Amino acid sequence: MDVTEDQVASKDPNASRESHKAQRALAQQRRASKPHSALLTSAKQIWSQARLKPPAITPAERTKHVNELMDVLRGHVKDVVLKHDASRIIQTLVKYGSKKQREEIATELKGSFRDLAQNRYSKFLVTKLIRLCPGQRASILSEFQGHVLKLLLHREASSVLADSFELYANAYERSILLRDFYGKEVALFSKIDSGDAPAKERAKAGLVGIVQDMDVERRKRTVNAVKENLETIFNNPDKGAVTHAIVHRALWEYLAALPKGEEGEKTRREMFECCQEILAEMVHTKDGSRAVREFLAYGTAKDRKHITKVLKPHVERMATDDEAQLVLFTALDVIDDTKMSAKSLVSPITTTTSTLVASPQGRRTLLYLLVPRSRRHFTPAQTAVLAETDKVRDGVEGKREGTSKKDAAVRATEVRQAASPDLIEWVRTDGPSAVRETGGSLVVGDIMLFAEGDKTAASKALLEPVGASYPSSTGDGPEDETSLHAIQLPHTSRTYKTLLQGGHFSHATKTIERAPHFSAEKFAEEFVKVVGQDKENALRIAKGDGAFVFAELLERVREEADSEVKKTVKGWFKDGKWNEKEDGEGRGHVVLKEKVDALLAS
């Protein structure tokens, strides 16, 4: 479109400048007409200096600006805190101020914390005060009493309660937040806030402690109140409260307080039906994990199938989480339909082995498929937690039948068989690189020992790095681990030695416990074929860092190998040249010499 001369003339830069000037003047006039305008203007000038990061400001300068800022805002904190810009100013005061200044701010805001928590700007201030003012924490949290459920379903306040409960509160302060779940009767008639020490201790114990001295009817009303309040949360999953630890704690306390027998089974099922679609949102916390494991343990085959379906899309993420992986372990422990669990749980784990092996949690998940609750990989505390559901599964609670019919050993065998093919294939493809890592070597070693299936190709792949030229790096400078020969890495060398032994050393029996699904003899024969292709290189390894590994190889060959293999290995050492150099007197040389002499004499 053509532009006329009149249109060009109308674009006068002076006219535009005057217009902007008028707009700025009008904006300043409007700001000045607002309450506390002068106070905020002064505070912002000081705040712009106080919030600077080092090295732009020294600690002494910051303290000076913070004190000035406190002098300006003292007595007016509550008046300005709900404003976006002013809220950030006060947050800076809380962050960098002294303990006395924080206490002063908390005192000024007393009585308004519930409103502040629901504001999109001041909610961050409330969280900071809860974190940095432990002396005021109980007082702040008590202002939420009677409104906890509403706040949990509030878009802004929900995160304040969640962080307070999970990150900062102690046992008594958590009980303050949980009390609303117990119903109005507990809130009105409990003695928790009256200074009654026994009542406070019972409150710390949760719902079980609260109801322990109640008569049957009152106990029933209290437990039902918890149920109704939980259902309110679960019926509003879009609000996000279902992911919070406080809700999971209330759910676990409810399940723990249920009576034995048919009544308890009925109410547990009703709660399961209410939250079955959102169980994946709970597994990441300690109490949420316990609750989901409880549903798994008490559930029918149909219930377990539904839980598995809900969890299946999240298995990889759960496998690397300390609490969530316990749910996976319990599922593997109680589900009788191992074909279903193999497809929905085992396969998503084994097909992501390369990812999982990088973290301790992931390695633990992989190893649970092969050696569940092994003391080498699982602490007594972890084993005790997992054993909590065994009584329900096996049916040793009085005369009640177990919820699982299959023998635990049979189930573990079927899980191991389902996991083995993928894990053995992973060793074949990624094992040579994984065995060079400390954690990876543990996984590779136990897959070779305990997985079921043909491991010939995997053994050959693992041994090829051992047959590489030794030593692989030269020079006087510091050596990088990536440039070292596999046998020069202590954890890697130890893995090969364990495989040649055929199992792990037991401190209880002081013997090697041979793995039932691994042949040390075949591994030794493969070792001779692969590593022995270059005799001179093999002898260099034996005289160097591989002395202990070769000592174990010679022991296995002497005891179990056929005559051809023995003849081959004897040929390596019978001329005695391997023992000529002085550098052969290294670590393990004496042990190696004993094994050589024993082999040659056999």
Q: Which residue has the tokens 């201030």?
A: 125
Compute the distance between CA of residue 168 and CA of residue 245 in angstroms, rounded to an integer. Answer: 12
pTM of the model: 0.88
Pull the structure tokens for residue 279.
């169980």
User: Helices 589-601 & 563-573, crossing angle to 10 degrees?
Assistant: 130
**pLDDT > 70 fraction of the chain, expressed in percent and rounded:** 88
Q: Where are the alpha helices (DSSP H) in 34-83?
A: 37-50, 59-73, 77-80
pLDDT of residue 453: 95
Dihedral-angle region of residue 335 (phi above 0 means left; psi in -120 to 50 means alpha; beta otherwise): beta
| 41: CB partners within 8 A, 6+ apart | none
Is 551 in contact with 592 (CB distance < 8 Å)? Answer: yes
Average pLDDT over residues 199-209: 73
Phi, then psi, of 513 in degrees rounded to 5? -90, 105
Q: Are strands 503-506 and 511-514 parallel, antiparallel or unpaired?
A: antiparallel
Pull the structure tokens for residue 202.
């019972």
Q: What is the mean pLDDT of the chain?
A: 88
| Span 116-142, pLDDT tens digits | 999 998 999 999 999 999 999 999 999
| Span 215-226, pLDDT tens digits | 889 889 999 999
Is 85 in contact with 40 (CB distance < 8 Å)? Answer: yes
pLDDT of residue 197: 63
Is 448 in contact with 440 (CB distance < 8 Å)? Answer: no
Phi, then psi, of 568 in degrees rounded to 5? -60, -50
Amino acid, single-letter form, for residue 253: E
Least Cα distance to 178 among 229, 236, 124 occurs for 229
Compute the distance between CA of residue 591 and CA of residue 549 in angstroms, rounded to an integer. Answer: 10
pLDDT of residue 260: 83
Residue 479 clears pLDDT 60, i.e. is over it: no
Q: Where are the alpha helices (DSSP H) in 258-345?
A: 262-275, 286-298, 301-311, 315-319, 324-334, 338-341
| Span 533-580, pLDDT tens digits | 888 899 889 888 889 999 999 999 999 888 898 999 888 888 776 776
| Span 437-449, pLDDT tens digits | 999 999 999 999 9
Compute the distance between CA of residue 528 and CA of residue 541 in angstroms, rounded to an integer. Answer: 13
| Span 486-545, pLDDT tens digits | 999 999 999 999 999 999 998 888 899 999 999 999 999 999 999 988 888 998 898 888
- DSSP 3-state assignment of 156? coil
pLDDT of residue 38: 80
Compute the distance between CA of residue 344 and CA of residue 331 in angstroms, rounded to an integer. Answer: 11
Cis amide leading into 465 (omega within 30):
no
